[in-house]
Chains A and B, each alone.
Chain A
Amino acid sequence: MARYFDSLGRWVLNRIENSLDFCAYITRIFRSLFRKKGASLESGITVLFKQVLFTGVQALPVIALVALALGAIAIVQSLTQLPRFGGEAFVGKILITVIVRELGPILTGFIVIGRSGTAITTEIGNMVVQHEIEALESMGIDPIRYLAIPRIFGVTASLVALNIYFDVFALIGGFLVSKMVLFTSLSIFLRQLIAAMVISDVTVSILKGLIFGILISLICTFRGFAVRVSSTEVPQQASKAVVGSITALFIADGIITFIYYF
């Protein structure tokens, strides 16, 4: 019994310590962000561009493929299920709600976590193990300002952009299927989509992309810096980064949806 309380107490304390570390990390990020401009931020611009290239541009084919398939599936399901109770008029609305609001940001977030999040954690973790962080600090370069902030901005910008591309490709997929099934023209399809779309659909989608990007990049860089000495910690932290990011993503998604609808 005593052992059970021991382990429970240790688990809770670890969680609290982790949460405090994460809060301290966020504070440190804000402090570095609003500090007087230094040379490391300018050099960080290149890191930011590279991050956008890696996370955004290079992920575009995967995003396009997933989005086209999802759009096609969504439209096929809508066209087969909705006419049963006379709901054909809601095909556009369902497509917008499912893709633009919900699945678009979530699936883009998953792809970014799997592709870039783990890479960021592994990269920073390996730098810690090889004492490159210490080397940067010895040269007077703030590792947070040089390594973390450009990645946070890069991942966030990429996720917002990928989210928009995802929506566009998914709607193209939906159009291709409806063209084959219903012989709908592009102008009619676009008109139906625009009629079904409200500005909150766009703002919710962008907001979700923005928040998911910040959360994923914060968690993944934090897990990278959490590596202490051994290279065996790197995959462990990468795994924790993925689990933590997905959990944060779902919680944030639920909160945003809850705020919007209530």
Chain B
Amino acid sequence: MAYRFKHLEKVVGVFLTLVILIIVVVVIFIGRERRWFEQQYEFTTEFWSGEGLKPGIVVTIKGIQIGEVKSVFLNEDNWIEVRFAVYEEYAERIRKDSVAKLNSPLIGSKVMEIIPGGVHQLPLENGSYIWSQDTEIGADILKERAKEERPDQLTRILGNVERLTYNLSDAEGNLERTLVKVQDLFELLSAEDGSLNRTLKTLDRLTSSIQEQEGSIGKLLYDNYELYNNITSIMKRINAIMADIQTLSGTISETSPEIKAAIERANVTMDEAIGLIRTLQENFFVRGFSSRKEDVVVPLENAEREGGYSP
């Protein structure tokens, strides 16, 4: 055990010194990050509502942190007075026409955004007051700023045209790529051994043979309307036949009830005749003169057809 305690003080000293060093380094880094060692400029503003406002929320210009809120309290006029610090490097951007406004991100605390003042205005001194969006003057400044920044119709059209021409002239853009593809296509089509050339030659041969009345199509096309005349006369004859058929079908439809009655009467007469013949066949006196045949056996599959038409 003795050897373990040989360097007892050294080991323990290193162990504890390292901890102190780590703490010091971390504190220095935090101090640098929080700008403890820099001069800060304090400004004051007022808001109508203090919802979400608290010390520590960040102050930004266009999303970049330039300081933080130091204190928030309700003043005698029932306005929320906010004191905030701005880092030295951004202090000169807080000018006479700067306006403070509150933004609410989707997640996290509110952010106090400063709309920086115009370049022609003088920077505000440490401890000055700046207008907020809730004050009348602040709202007016914001409106004026919005008017200045809002582009008119012509400027917007020019901007669109500029973007369009830029996109069209872009070497990587769609138009450039399409033109290159079209050029490739033309080169392919105009090639001596290309399929288009071959097709055109074939078509040329075909039209010349048609013009010289070679083959069926040529003869058909250049027969001085012989085929057309034949077809017209055939069509006339077909029309006449169709008229006759129509007349015949009308006659049949008119006489059909009488035909049906005659058939029915013939059937009844036939039934009666058959009954009479059977009676005679069974008569003792005339039976010997009958040439009666045995009933034909009808196969089962034909049974329906064989007897199906008799009533």
Contact = CB atoms under 8 A, between A and B. Distances in A.
A16 interface: no
B30 A52 contact: no
B112 to A, nearest CB: 18
A198 B34 contact: yes
Contacts of B8: 46, 49-50, 53
B5 interface: yes
Contact of B27 (A86, A87, A199): A199
Interface string B26-69: 11011101100000000000000000000000000000000000
Interface of B: 4-5, 8-9, 11-12, 15-16, 19, 22-23, 26-27, 29-31, 33-34, 106-107
Given A56-B12, A57-B12, A202 B19 contact: no
Contacts of A164: 19, 22-23
B19 A165 contact: yes
A12 to B, nearest CB: 43
A165 B5 CA distance: 22
A197 interface: yes
A53 B19 contact: no
A197 B34 CA distance: 10
Given A194-B33, A197-B26, A199-B27, A52 B107 contact: no
Chain A, interface SS category: helix
Interface of A: 46, 49-50, 52-53, 56-57, 60, 85-87, 90, 157, 160-161, 164-165, 168, 190, 194-195, 197-199, 202, 206
A261 to B, nearest CB: 13
B107 A194 contact: no
Contacts, number: 56
A160 B22 CA distance: 12
B27 A202 contact: yes
A50 B26 CA distance: 28
Contact of A161 (B5, B19, B107): B19
27 contacts: A46-B8, A49-B9, A50-B8, A52-B15, A52-B16, A53-B8, A53-B12, A56-B16, A57-B12, A85-B107, A86-B107, A90-B107, A157-B16, A160-B19, A161-B16, A164-B19, A164-B22, A168-B22, A194-B29, A197-B26, A197-B33, A198-B30, A199-B30, A199-B31, A202-B26, A202-B30, A206-B23
